[in-house]
Amino acid sequence: MAADRMRVELEGFLAHAGDLSHFVQRFFREAFRPRFEWQELFRQCYINGYLSLPLVAVTAFIMGIVLTVQSRPTLARFGAESMLPAMVAISVVREIAPVITALICAGKIGSSMGAELGSMKVTEQIDAMEVSGTNPFKYLVVTRVWSTTLMVPILVVLADGIAIWACYLGVNIKGVVSWDLFHRQVFDSLEFSDVLPAFVKSYFFGLAIGLVGCYKGYTTEKGTEGVGRSAHSAVVVASLMIFILDLIAVQVTDILGFN
């Protein structure tokens, strides 16, 4: 029984992997082919980018404060408290802000895509678009994936700035450090090799969030129950993909000498 169950689960996993690969191939075929749905793309950028900014900003602010306050005692033991701004800035820019921002977007954007497209699928709205001569894949999927690919890196950059500003406030909780000195310590420690890999991998995070969320919603089955399952699995799979992509990015940047 156990062997049969494992075989069924493996076959299901491979089938889903194959369907997802076909979905990704179709996206790249449609993504660069006219006609482009600019109005829908801008609307999705507003929804997935601007409306996600408050949540990202609050999280980045708290993240910067907490990291600063928690790191101070450890550095103080070694007499390296002056290194606090540089340490927090490097940690935030290289790893923490891209991953945390992507996870927030996976939870907020991925679930909404899975639920929205899933409800359209089970109510046959997508089929109606196909019958009317509209290309639902280009209108619904391509615009959403492009919006996450473009907006997640911008959200990451904003999260970097907010977290570093929160670090400045955290440093001044138990001391007095001028903004000029703090600014100099932060930007003297940051290098191009710290910023570029984090910025590049955030594009792949956004691409993964959009593809997984749209795939789960676009292939929803079994009525309203399937809508909830699609929204849930979109968050789980997108979050897992973010960690896998982050692991690959770390290895690639190490090979290329960015670390």
Does residue 78 have a pLDDT over 80? no
The overall average pLDDT reported for the chain is 87
Q: Among 127, 141, 147, 152, which residue's Cα sits nearest to residue 28? A: 141
Delimit the domains of the chain by residue range: 1-30, 40-255
pLDDT of residue 259: 62
pLDDT in tens, 158-175: 999 999 999 999 888 877
Contacts of 71 (CB under 8 A, 6+ apart): 84, 87, 88
pLDDT of residue 8: 67
Given its phi and psi angles, is residue 53 left (phi above 0), alpha (psi -120 to 50 degrees) or beta? alpha
pLDDT of residue 9: 67
The first and second tokens of residue 71, run together, are 């790191």
pLDDT in tens, 24-67: 898 888 888 888 888 999 999 999 999 999 999 999 999 999 99
pLDDT in tens, 102-147: 999 999 998 899 888 888 888 888 888 878 877 888 888 999 999 9
